[in-house]
Structure 1
Amino acid sequence: MFDWEDLRHFAAFVRAGSLASAAKALAVDHATVARRIASLESALNLKLVDRRSRAYVLTHQGLRIAEFAEQMSASSFALEHYAGADQPDVQGEVVLSAPPVLLGSLIAPHAGTLLVQHPALSLRLVGTKSRTSLARREADVAVSLARPLESTLVASLLGHLDYALYASPAYLAQAAKPRFIGYDASQAKSIQHRWLVEQAKGGDFVLCSNDLRVQALAAAGAAGIVCLPAFIAAEHGLQRVDPEADTLNIEVWMAFHEDVRATPRIQAVGEFVRTCMAVLPRL
C-alpha cells in the first residue's frame, strides 16, 4: 500500500512542473519531494519519472498516475469543504487570489473589518495574474479580469475596470514627443497592453514593467504616459491625457468551486469581496 503523503507530493510536483516549485508550494526542500516520488514508485512498482540531468520528466505511467492523483486531490478538497459547509460558524482559512493591484488597493485595506466581524476566520491573500490558482485548487476564491469558463465554477460579475491614458501634471506640461510606459514581454499579449499600443500610434515605449503599481509610480515621476484603471491613477495624482479620448473597459469576475458555495467562510469572504469591488469608479 502506498503512502498518501507520497501521492500528495507527487501531485504537487505534477502541478508545479518541477521539484523546486513543488518544494516551494509544500514548504519543504526539493530533496524531500524527490524522496517522496521515489517512495511512491517503489510502492506502486512503476516508473513515474525519467530522471534527466536538469529535470524530472513524467513517463507514460507517470502521466496516468498523475490523473489519479488529481482526482484524489479534488475529492479530498471537496470532502474538506463539504464538512465545512455543515459548520454554522465562519471559521478556518480562506485563500483568496486576485490581481496584485486589486489586492493592494481594494481588498487588503479593508480586511481588518472582515476579521473583526469573524474572529475565527483567517485570510491568505495571493497575488496572481491568471486563474491557475483556482483551476488547480490552490485558492478557494479567485478574482480575475476574465470570465471563468470551467463548468465546475460558480462565477459572478463584480464590476468593471475603466482604463484610460494618464500622465503626471509635470509630464503634461512638457512639449516633448510622447513617451509611453507599458507592460514587459510577460504581459505583452494582455488586452491592456494591446490597447495601449493602438493608442500610442507608433510612439516610443521608454519603460516597461509587469506591475501596474510600478508603472503608476514611473508615470508619477514624469516618465511618460501610462494605461491605468481610474482608481490607481487617482491614488498617484495622475491626470487623463485627453478626457474625451477612448477608454478601455474590462470586466472583473469572482469565482469559486461549486462544491464550496454553501461553506460559511466562503460565503463570508465572497460577500466581503463584493463590498470591496462595489466602489470601483466608472469613467
Structure 2
Amino acid sequence: MFDWENVRHFLAVARIGTLSGAARSLKVDHATVSRRLSALEDEIKTRLIERLPRACKLTLIGQRVFELAQGMEEDAYAIERFVDASRSPLSGKVSLSAPPVLVAHFLAKHLADFRRVHPGVQLSVSGEARQISLSRREADVALRLVRPEEGTSVVRKLGRMSFDLYASRDYPHLHNPSAWEFISYDAGFTDMPQQKWLMSVARGRPIACEISDINGHLAATQAGAGVAGLPDFLADTDAKLQRVAYDGEPFSRDIWLAVHRDLRRSPHVRAVMDFLLKIVKENPAFTISG
C-alpha cells in the first residue's frame, strides 16, 4: 500500500501544474514535493508526471491516477471530518479562512475574547482573498464576500459590510469634490464590485494611484494621497479620516459564512460559527441579515 502523503503531494502538483506552486499550497519546500512525487512513482513503478522546464504535465497513466486519487482524497477528508465532529465538546483545532481585511482589522481584536470563553479550542485564522475548498480541508469554516458555491458546504449570509468614501482630514481638496483624485485597485481587479462602484463614483476624475490591497488603500488615504472607498468598520474609527459625501448609489458587500455539512454540528466548529455571528451582530458598521 502506498503512502497517502505521497498521493496528497501528487494531487497538488496535478492540480497546480508546477512543483513550486504545489509547495506553496502545501506550505512545504520545493524539495519535499519533488521527493514525495518521486517516492509515489517508485512505489507504483510508473511515471505519473512529466517534469518540463516550466511546468509539470500528467502522463496518460498519471491522468487516470489523478482521477482515482481525488476519490481517495475525499474519503480521507471525510474521515477527518467525522473524527473532528465526534470529538469531546469544545476541544480541538478549528481553521478559519477570511478576507485579509476582516482578519487584520476585525477578527484579530476578538480572538482574546474567544479564547477566554473557549480555552479548549485552538482557532487558526488565515487571511485569504481566494476562494478555498472546504471539502479538501483548506479550512473548516470560511467567511467570504462572495457566496460560496461548493456543493458540500452549508452557507449562511451573516450581514452586509457597507462602504463609503473617505479622505484624510488634511487632504487639500477635502471640500472640493471636483478636484478629488481617487485611490483605486489595479487592472487585475477590474471586475471586483468595490472597484466598479468606485469608478462609477469617480466619473472620470483622476486616479491618484492604484494599489492592489485594501490595507494599502487605508495607508495611502491616511497619508493624503487621495479619496478611497473603504469599509465603514475600518475607516469610521480612524481619527485621521473623514467620511465625505458623494453623488451615487450606496454600496455594500455581503458577508457569507460557510462550513462543510459534515462539520456543522461539531461542538468546537459550532462554537466558532456562533462566535462569528455574535461579533458581526454586535458591530454597528455591519447590517445584519434576518
TM-score normalised according to structure 1 size? 0.91
Deviation at residue 27 of structure 1 after TM alignment: 4.2
Q: Which residue of 2 aligns with 1:262?
A: 265
Deviation at residue 236 of structure 1 after TM alignment: 2.7
The amino acid of 1:195's aligned partner reads W
The amino acid of 1:259's aligned partner reads D
- Deviation track 1:88-124 (CA, whole Å, cap 9, x = no partner) reads 3212211101111111222111111111222221121
Q: Which residue of 1 aligns with 2:200?
A: 198
Higher mean alpha-carbon deviation, 152-161 vs 23-32, is at 23-32
Residue ranges of structure 1 left out of the alignment (5+ in a row): none
Q: Which residue of 2 aligns with 1:229?
A: 231
Deviation at residue 165 of structure 1 after TM alignment: 1.6
Matches within 5 A, 1:122-161: 122-134=122-134, 136-161=136-161
Q: Which residue of 1 aligns with 2:216?
A: 214
Deviation at residue 220 of structure 1 after TM alignment: 1.6
> Any idea what SS the aligned residue of 1:170 has?
coil
Aligned-residue RMSD, C-alpha: 2.1
Q: Which residue of 2 aligns with 1:272?
A: 275
Distance in 1, Cα, partners of 2:276 & 2:132? 19
Q: Measured at CA, do residues 28 and 145 of structure 1 come closer, stay the same or move farther in structure 2, by a change above 3 Å?
A: closer
Distance in 1, Cα, partners of 2:175 & 2:162? 26
Higher mean alpha-carbon deviation, 194-203 vs 164-173, is at 164-173
Deviation at residue 41 of structure 1 after TM alignment: 2.0
Is the 1:20–1:30 contact (alpha carbons within 8 Å) kept by the matching residues of 2? Answer: yes
Between the two proteins, the alignment pairs up a number of residues equal to: 283
**Residue 250 of structure 2 is aligned with which of 247, 250, 268?**
247
1:31 counterpart = 2:34: no
Distance in 2, Cα, partners of 1:43 & 1:110? 47
The amino acid of 1:183's aligned partner reads Y
Distance in 2, Cα, partners of 1:186 & 1:121? 38
Higher mean alpha-carbon deviation, 58-67 vs 189-198, is at 58-67
Distance in 1, Cα, partners of 2:247 & 2:181? 20
Is the 1:82–1:263 contact (alpha carbons within 8 Å) kept by the matching residues of 2? Answer: no
Q: Measured at CA, do residues 121 and 15 of structure 1 come closer, stay the same or move farther in structure 2, by a change above 3 Å?
A: farther
Distance in 2, Cα, partners of 1:30 & 1:74? 25
The amino acid of 1:134's aligned partner reads L
> Any idea what SS the aligned residue of 1:32 has?
helix
- Deviation track 1:114-156 (CA, whole Å, cap 9, x = no partner) reads 1122222112111111222536431111100011122211001
Higher mean alpha-carbon deviation, 269-278 vs 237-246, is at 237-246
The amino acid of 2:5's aligned partner reads E
1:106 counterpart = 2:100: no
- Deviation track 1:49-86 (CA, whole Å, cap 9, x = no partner) reads 11111221223332332232222222212212212222
Distance in 1, Cα, partners of 2:72 & 2:79? 10
Is the 1:140–1:266 contact (alpha carbons within 8 Å) kept by the matching residues of 2? Answer: yes
Q: Which residue of 2 aligns with 1:186?
A: 188
Q: Measured at CA, do residues 173 and 248 of structure 1 come closer, stay the same or move farther in structure 2, by a change above 3 Å?
A: closer
Q: Which residue of 1 aligns with 2:69?
A: 69
Q: Measured at CA, do residues 111 and 170 of structure 1 come closer, stay the same or move farther in structure 2, by a change above 3 Å?
A: same
> Any idea what SS the aligned residue of 2:14 has?
helix
The amino acid of 1:216's aligned partner reads L
Q: Measured at CA, do residues 4 and 149 of structure 1 come closer, stay the same or move farther in structure 2, by a change above 3 Å?
A: closer
Deviation at residue 38 of structure 1 after TM alignment: 1.9
Q: Measured at CA, do residues 233 and 135 of structure 1 come closer, stay the same or move farther in structure 2, by a change above 3 Å?
A: farther
Is the 1:49–1:59 contact (alpha carbons within 8 Å) kept by the matching residues of 2? Answer: yes
Distance in 2, Cα, partners of 1:243 & 1:54? 49
Q: Measured at CA, do residues 126 and 31 of structure 1 come closer, stay the same or move farther in structure 2, by a change above 3 Å?
A: same
Deviation at residue 21 of structure 1 after TM alignment: 2.9
The amino acid of 2:81's aligned partner reads H
